[in-house]
């Protein structure tokens, strides 16, 4: 239970409640050299326990329901994007130019899933828009990994040189991360948060009545808000019209949520957003630190304008240090922090069996929000807002540290060879979906989402 003790302590949990958690071990689930399965158990277990605790608090029950962490559910949910079928079609997770490349002195990994990232990568390499994989490979073979990293990032693209954990530990960003908590929690002053009503006998959804503004993209943030939606929250995702989301990615992480588009540069849309913010309980942001500051959406500004608000900020590299304002994705964080080196060989870097930094941090973020709500509810009129900060690179540091997430014990159990046991089929506005069920499980809790994903950006900009 080493991993879940760390995760539960990181979100301020009472250690006495850890006895409510049980684990179903399954051989072969999330096998890796690093303790990925233990990390997944810890993040999901902490999330489920935080949900069970909040539900008990709101229902006026003294006993917190038991939590069940099943390795099969974890292994399925942590690759939910790979299990997704839309009318029988399997989405493509990575574009051709999102991959490892051999350089003159090592390896570099790029991310070019979005059209603007592809364009910036090719522009940095002085290649035409229709350049092929072979064209890029030829250019990078003559450049150093660090030169490529700096050139591409300088052009607004995404490329990261391969580093070992030891090399990352002495990198200025690695040093900045080392002194930070796994989950940074800051309690804020000001007026009391809106009190959520007690749960009546008709619902067992711990987050029922909660209003969550979702300003996140890709995997980690959407996984967190998808989980809050599973637990009963009214989650409204807000995107800028000029940054369209991949429709397949939205089909995977849009369960339980509604999705709208607002241009915060337009006065009418800004007023709409301010009205939404004025009634929100939680706002989750997943853009790189500083990207939303010009709209008055820094954690400090939000806390001033909306006392009692829980502001949860997710980033790739952390909101500090020389890389604090850099863009990043799970695959790139794995490369920079030593994960890819640990999972690979001298001939070629490797990768985790899942985008576990994304998924794990997403469940830990949801857990942090749920625990903050429980603390607010128990403060007898003194409930205050919170700022919560999590970073993929900080989660990676936990994973790679000696004894960090804890060893994966060689427990005996049923083999993980039937992922369909944790899959479901649902009709939606985007087609018939085969999808992974949530691994967040506790006695009396929900099994599936109340609504399937709709089409991205097509819902009204108002609370349900």
Taking only the tens place, the pLDDT of each residue in 392-425 is 999 999 999 987 676 554 445 677 877 899 999 9
Q: What is the pLDDT of residue 299?
A: 79
The pTM of this model reads 0.95
- Spans of the chain below 50 pLDDT: 380-381, 409-411
Q: What is the pLDDT of residue 190?
A: 64
Residue 53 burial class via C-beta count within 10 angstroms: exposed 0-12, middle 13-18, buried 19 and up: buried
Return the number of other C-beta atoms located less than 10 Å from residue 428's C-beta.
Answer: 17
Max Cα separation, the chain?
67
- Judge contact between 87 and 432, C-beta under 8 A: yes
Distance CA 441, CA 451 (A): 18
- Render pLDDT for 33-92 as a digit per residue (tens, 0 to 9): 999 999 999 999 999 999 999 999 999 999 999 999 999 999 999 999 999 999 999 998
Beta-carbon contacts of residue 393 (< 8 Å; ≥ 6 apart): 173, 174, 177, 316, 317, 318, 328, 333, 336, 337
Nearest to 340 by CA among 163, 79, 157, 216: 163
Question: What do you get for the CA distance between the two ends of the chain, in Å?
Answer: 39
Q: What is the pLDDT of residue 383?
A: 66
């Amino acid at each position: 239970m080493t991993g879940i003790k760390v995760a539960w302590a990181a979100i301020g949990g009472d250690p006495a409640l850890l006895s409510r958690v049980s684990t179903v071990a399954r051989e072969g689930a999330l096998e890796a050299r690093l303790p990925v399965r233990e990390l997944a158990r810890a993040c999901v277990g902490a999330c489920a326990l935080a949900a069970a605790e909040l539900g008990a608090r709101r229902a006026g029950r003294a006993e917190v329901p038991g939590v069940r962490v099943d390795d099969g559910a974890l292994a399925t949910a942590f690759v939910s994007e790979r299990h997704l079928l839309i009318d029988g079609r399997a989405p493509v997770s990575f574009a051709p130019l999102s991959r490892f490349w051999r350089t003159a002195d090592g390896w570099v990994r790029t991310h070019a899933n979005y059209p603007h990232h592809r364009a910036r990568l090719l522009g940095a390499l002085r290649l035409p828009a229709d350049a092929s994989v072979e064209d890029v490979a030829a250019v990078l073979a003559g450049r150093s990994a660090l030169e490529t990293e700096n050139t591409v990032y300088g052009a607004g693209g995404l490329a990261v040189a391969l580093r070992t954990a030891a090399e990352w530990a002495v990198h200025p960003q690695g040093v900045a991360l080392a002194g930070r908590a796994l989950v940074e929690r800051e309690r804020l002053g000001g007026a009391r948060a809106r009190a959520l009503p007690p749960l009546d006998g008709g619902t067992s959804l711990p987050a029922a009545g909660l209003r969550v503004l979702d300003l996140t993209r890709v995997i980690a943030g959407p996984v967190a808000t998808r989980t809050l939606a599973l637990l009963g929250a009214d989650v409204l995702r807000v995107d800028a019209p000029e940054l369209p989301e991949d429709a397949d990615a939205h089909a995977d992480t849009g369960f339980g949520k509604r999705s709208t588009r607002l241009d915060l540069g337009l006065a009418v849309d800004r007023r709409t957003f301010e009205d939404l913010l004025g009634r929100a309980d939680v706002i989750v942001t997943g853009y790189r630190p500083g990207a939303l500051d010009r709209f008055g959406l820094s954690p400090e500004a939000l806390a001033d304008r909306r006392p009692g608000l829980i502001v949860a900020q997710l980033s790739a590299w952390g909101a500090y240090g020389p890389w604090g304002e850099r863009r990043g994705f799970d695959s790139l964080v794995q490369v920079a922090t030593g994960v890819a080196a640990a999972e690979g060989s001298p001939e070629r870097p490797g990768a985790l069996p899942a985008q576990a930094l994304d998924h794990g941090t997403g469940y830990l973020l949801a857990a942090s929000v749920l625990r903050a709500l429980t603390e607010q509810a128990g403060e007898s009129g003194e409930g205050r807002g919170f700022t919560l900060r999590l970073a993929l690179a900080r989660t990676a540091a936990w994973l790679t540290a000696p004894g960090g997430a804890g060893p994966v014990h060689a427990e005996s159990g049923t083999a993980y060879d039937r992922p369909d046991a944790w899959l479901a089929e649902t009709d939606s506005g985007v087609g018939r979906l085969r999808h992974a069920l949530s691994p967040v499980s506790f006695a009396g809790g929900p099994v599936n989402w109340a609504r399937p994903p709709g089409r991205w950006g097509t819902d009204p900009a108002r609370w349900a």
